[in-house]
């Protein structure tokens, strides 16, 4: 089997290294731009430089740990599939297994995806779910995630569901034949590994996730097509995702006109805000002049 290409499960992990890198670049700029005659002591400059070096070292450690963790996970997951401990199904084969053999489908997606669309009759137990805590640490993660691209992609802050195994065990015996699926096929592999280690030996993994299913492959329910359940943010609002482009190719100009109108609306709103800011600036200057 070809080696799977597996990105990090948590987008925050990928964003942390970029955050450190951006912070490092911001810290180095004062060292290169001290004005002549500045009274900053040499020791202060040295402390700043030491801080930059330490942050760069942390950045490299995070990247290295990510690479090692993902390489180890990839090796384990490839092994499960290669050795037949987890069997591979296409979305169409999964649909046949559900309809003809009455095999249960375990949906391990977070609620943000599940609530948009789901396979009819599937059982939902998320392996990662939206982190709704309001403590300082979680809020910091949410702000970081939003600033590092969450506003565009709509990717939520997720946390591991520590009740995942116990919930699955409540619903399915260890001898059950389980089809495990997520949106893109990554978190479901992690779920298969956990379930296999817990004693489930009849596991089927949906290759490519539910997003790769064609309309006729699975019987679905929900407010959106299954392919669009994993998108969000400003990119979804503008219709600039690959999934929406594919949908537009099927549905024609009517679908495209909706998002074209939204784009023009955003441009007009931005222009209005710019003009309003200019007028406010002129008004403030006039008040100061009086």
Confirm if 99 and 219 have CB atoms less than 8 A apart.
yes
Spacing of C-alpha 271 from chain mean position: 31
Provide the Cα torsion 198, 86, 190, 235; round to 10°.
-150
Catalytic hit among 148, 182, 213, 231 = 182
- Look up 192 and say whether it is catalytic: no
Instruction: Give CA separation, 186 vs 73, 211, 275, in Å.
Output: 11, 12, 46
- Cα distance between residue 226 and residue 219, in whole Å: 10
- Cα distance between residue 165 and residue 161, in whole Å: 9
Q: Which two tokens stand for residue 24?
A: 């490092």
List active site positions.
182
């Amino acid at each position: 089997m070809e080696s799977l290409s597996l990105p990090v499960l948590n987008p925050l992990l990928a964003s942390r290294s970029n955050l450190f890198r951006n912070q490092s670049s911001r810290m180095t700029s004062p060292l290169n731009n001290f004005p002549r005659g500045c009274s900053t002591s040499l020791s202060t400059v040295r402390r700043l430089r030491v801080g930059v070096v330490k942050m760069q070292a942390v950045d490299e450690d995070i990247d290295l740990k990510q690479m090692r963790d993902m390489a180890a996970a990839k090796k384990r997951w490839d092994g499960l599939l290669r050795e037949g401990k987890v069997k591979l199904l296409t979305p169409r084969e999964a649909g046949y297994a559900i309809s003809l053999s009455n095999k249960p489908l375990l949906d391990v997606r977070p609620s943000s995806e599940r609530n948009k669309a789901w396979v009819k009759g599937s059982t939902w137990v998320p392996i990662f779910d939206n982190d709704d805590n309001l403590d300082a640490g979680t809020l910091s993660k949410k702000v970081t995630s939003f600033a590092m691209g969450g506003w565009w992609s709509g990717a939520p802050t997720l946390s591991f569901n520590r009740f995942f195994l116990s919930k699955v065990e409540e619903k399915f015996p260890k001898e059950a034949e389980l089809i495990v699926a997520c949106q893109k096929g990554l978190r479901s592999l992690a779920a298969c590994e956990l379930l296999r280690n817990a004693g489930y030996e009849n596991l089927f993994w949906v290759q490519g996730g539910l997003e790769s299913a064609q309309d006729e492959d699975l019987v679905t329910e929900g407010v959106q097509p299954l392919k669009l359940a994993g998108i969000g943010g400003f990119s979804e609002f503008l219709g600039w995702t690959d999934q929406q482009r594919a949908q537009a190719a099927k549905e024609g100009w009517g679908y495209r006109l909706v998002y074209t109108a939204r784009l023009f609306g955003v441009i007009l709103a931005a222009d209005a805000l710019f003009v309003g800011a200019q007028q406010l600036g002129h008004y403030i200057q006039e008040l100061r002049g009086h």
